[in-house]
Structures are given as structure tokens and as C-alpha cells.
Amino acid sequence: MTSSEVLSMYENIAGLTNQMAAAARMGDMDRLGKLESQCATEARAVSTGVPALAGAQRLRKIDLLKQILANDREIRDVTDPWMNEVPGMARQ
């Protein structure tokens, strides 16, 4: 995997999590679920290992990771209360 491919993968994940956050805000849990599946597929590539980046590419990756984490927090802020209302779905 090249450095460009690594950044492209993270950009795609950041875009998907941004769409997921929007779906969560709108209460569109069906769309959120579909996007979550797409995101999981992309994220599996990360678990297979990616080359280390340096310089500006490393900084870009860090920025993308911050975006992904912020989107994740927003999604959880919306979905956690909803999940606590659904029997058997409360987070442990």
C-alpha cells in the first residue's frame, strides 16, 4: 500500500463517518447502519497494516484521525440515549 493509498483510505473513512454523523443527527438509523457497514469494510484494511507516514502526510493522517474520532463522538452522543431506550441494546 502506497502513502497515497493510505491517505485515500483515511479520507474515505473520514467522509463515511461524517455521513454517519449526519444520518445520526437526522435520526436515519437505517442509513447509519448501511454507512457503518461500509466504514467497517474500509477499516478492515487498516487492521492488515499500513506503512508509516512522515512529514506532511503524517500530519494529514493525524488530522483525518481527529476528524474520525470527532465524528464517532458525535454519533455516540446521538445514538447512546436512543440505544438506552431500546430493550436489550444498552451499552455495558
Q: Which domains does the chain have, with CATH numbers?
A: 3-85 (1.20.58.380)
pLDDT average, residue stretch 64-86: 89
Q: Which of 62, 5, 12, 79 is nearest to 40 (CA)?
A: 12
User: Is 57 or 45 the better-scoring residue by pLDDT?
Assistant: 57
Q: Do 75 and 16 touch, CB atoms closer than 8 A?
A: no
- The helix (H) or strand (E) run that includes residue 65 is helix 55-85
Q: Please tell me the predicted confidence (pLDDT) of residue 89.
A: 59
C-alpha span between 61 and 6 (Å, rounded): 8
Q: What is the pLDDT of residues 11-52, one digit of tens each?
A: 999 999 999 999 999 999 999 999 999 999 988 877 778 888
Q: Please tell me the predicted confidence (pLDDT) of residue 73.
A: 97
The pTM of this model reads 0.85
Kindly list the distances between the CA atom of residue 14 and the CA atoms of 4, 19, 66, 81, in Å, as whole numbers in the listed order.
Answer: 15, 9, 9, 24
Listed in sequence order, the residues at least 6 apart from 67 whose beta carbon sits closer than 8 Å to its beta carbon are 14, 17, 18
Q: Which three cell numbers stand for residue 72?
A: 464517532
